[in-house]
Amino acid sequence: MIDFHYERATNLDEASVLANFADTMVIAGGTTLVDLAKLDVVRPETVVDISRIPGLDAIDVDASGAMIGALAKMSRVADDPRIKDGFPAVAQSLSLAASQQLRNMATIGGNLMQRTRCSYFRDPAAYPSCNKRTPGSGCAALGGLTRNHAVLGTSEACIATYPGDLAVALVALDATLHVGRRTVAAEDFFLLPGETPERETDLRQGEIITAVSVPASPVARRSTYLKVRDRQSYEFASASAAVGLELADDGGTIADLRVALGGVATKPWRARAVEDALRGTPLDEEAVGEASRLAVAEAVAFDGNAYKIELVPRVIARAILTLGGLA
C-alpha cells in the first residue's frame, strides 16, 4: 500500500478544484480504487473522498425517465421498484454484478469508472508490459492467456475488455452521463483503445460524474440484462447482452430494438447491425438467430477467446426471444 494525502470534499465545487490537481484521484465507495492501489496499479498522491457530498445519491423517476445520482449505491438502485419496473435492464445489470457486500458499498459513478480485469494490467510486478498502465511498454496479453479478453474493438496496443455491467445497460437504453457541467451520451463516454489505451473514458481532469439519466421508453420498460459467466455469482461476464424490445400493436412485429454487449469488447458495445436487421420484421426465432450473428461479423479472436464469437449471438438471441415470450 502506498502513502497518499486524504482530502474530504464537502461539495461538488470543492471536489472539482481538488480533483484538478495532477496525481489526484477521487474515491467514492473505494471498492476498486483501494484494490488497485494495493496492487500498485495506481499511485495517487492525493485521494479526494466525494462520498459525503450531499445530494449526489438521489434516485428520481418521472414520466420522462430516471435520474440516478453518482453516489447512489449499486444495491439501492438495483432494489428500487421504480427502476425495476421502468428500466429492468438497469436493475438487473446491477443485481448481477459483484456481491451483495460490494453492491452495498459501491456507487454508480465508481461502477462506471472501474478498470479492466485484464490480469496482466493488475499485476505490475510480474508483467511490466502493459500499454494501458504504462503507455508504450507493450501488451503482455498478446501471446499470453486471452480467455477473458475482447473480440470486438481491439487494437494492436490493447485487447482488454471493459468489465462493468451497468454501462452496458446504459448504452443500450441511450442513457446520458452528467459529467461536471456537461452531458455526454453513455456510448460516447467510453473510448476505444486505439493507440492510447490509457485513455478509457471522456472524463477530463477535475471532472466528476454527478448523475446518469435514462430516458423512459417502451424499450426501456421491456428490457433485460442476460449475463453468462464462469460461475453463477460474484463473477464478471464472459458475455452479456442488454436488450430492449418494443413490439408493434399486432404483438408479433419488432417495432424497436436495442442491443448492447458486455464482456466481449473493449468498451460497452452497441450492436446496431442487429437492431437494424430486426427492426420492422416479425419476431421469429430463426430470423433473430441469424440477425444476432451480425454482432460478431467484425470480431477478431485471439488464442483463448474464440468461444466468445460463438457465445455472443446465442446470448443476444436468448435475450430477445425471452423478452418476446418465445424462450
Nearest one of 137, 88, 96 to 245, comparing CA atoms: 88
- DSSP assignments along 47-90, one per residue: EEE-TT-TTTT-EEEETTEEEEETTSBHHHHHH-HHHHHH-HHH
Site membership for ligand FAD, residue 27 (CB under 6 A): yes
| Residue span binding ligand FAD (CB under 6 A) among the ranges 3-11, 84-92, 108-116, 318-326 | 108-116
Give the footprint of ligand SF4 on residues 141-160 (CB under 6 A). Answer: 141, 158-160
Positions 60 through 99 that interact with ligand FAD (CB under 6 A): 70, 74, 97-98
CB of 116 to ligand SF4, least distance (A): 5
30 touches ligand FAD (CB under 6 A): yes
Residue 111 binds to ligand FAD (criterion: CB under 6 A): yes
CA distance 278 to 288: 7
Nine-digit cell string for 98: 459483484
Binding mask 169-188 for ligand FAD (x = CB under 6 A): --------------------
> Is residue 28 close enough to count as binding ligand FAD by CB under 6 A?
yes
C-alpha cell at position 243 = 436488450
Closest separation in Å from C-beta 31 to ligand FAD: 3
Residue in this structure with the C-alpha cell 423478452, named with its chain if needed: 323
Which has the closest alpha carbon to 127: 145, 112, 110, 114?
A: 145
From ligand SF4, ligand FAD, none, which one binds at residue 130 (CB under 5 to 8 Å depending on kind)?
ligand SF4
Task: Cell numbers for 124, please give them.
Answer: 505490475
Site string for ligand FAD, 230-249 (x = CB under 6 A): ------x-------------
Q: Amino acid identity of 60?
A: D
Residue 300 grid cell = 477478431
Does residue 106 contact residue 93 with C-beta atoms inside 8 Å? no
State in angstroms the smallest separation of the CB of 316 from ligand SF4: 24
Residue 28 has phi, psi (to 5 degrees) of -115, -90
Structure-block grid coordinates of residue 311: 457465445
Q: Which amino acid is at 69?
A: G
Rg (CA), the chain: 19
Residue written as cell 483501494? 34
Number of residues in contact with ligand SF4 under rule CB under 6 A: 14
Beta bridge partners of 179: 182, 209
Residue span binding ligand FAD (CB under 6 A) among the ranges 102-110, 142-150, 243-251, 279-287: 102-110
Q: Say whether residue 140 binds ligand FAD (CB under 6 A).
A: no
Binder of residue 116, out of ligand FAD, ligand SF4, none (CB less than 5 to 8 A by kind):
ligand SF4
Closest CB 229 distance from ligand FAD, rounded Å: 8
Residue type, 258: R
Which is closer to ligand FAD, CB of 235 or CB of 284? Answer: 235
Which one-letter amino acid corresponds to residue 132? K
Indicate the residue among 69 and 163 with the shorter CB distance to ligand SF4: 163
* Nearest-approach distance from CB 168 to ligand FAD, in angstroms: 9
Choice between 217 and 266, CB closer to ligand FAD: 266
Among 139, 171, 316, 323, binds ligand SF4 (CB under 6 A): 139
Collapse the DSSP code of 186 into the 3-class scheme (helix H, G, I; strand E, B; otherwise coil) and give the result. helix
Contact residues for ligand FAD, defined by CB under 6 A: 25-33, 35, 70, 74, 97-98, 102, 105-107, 109-111, 113-114, 164-166, 203, 208-209, 236
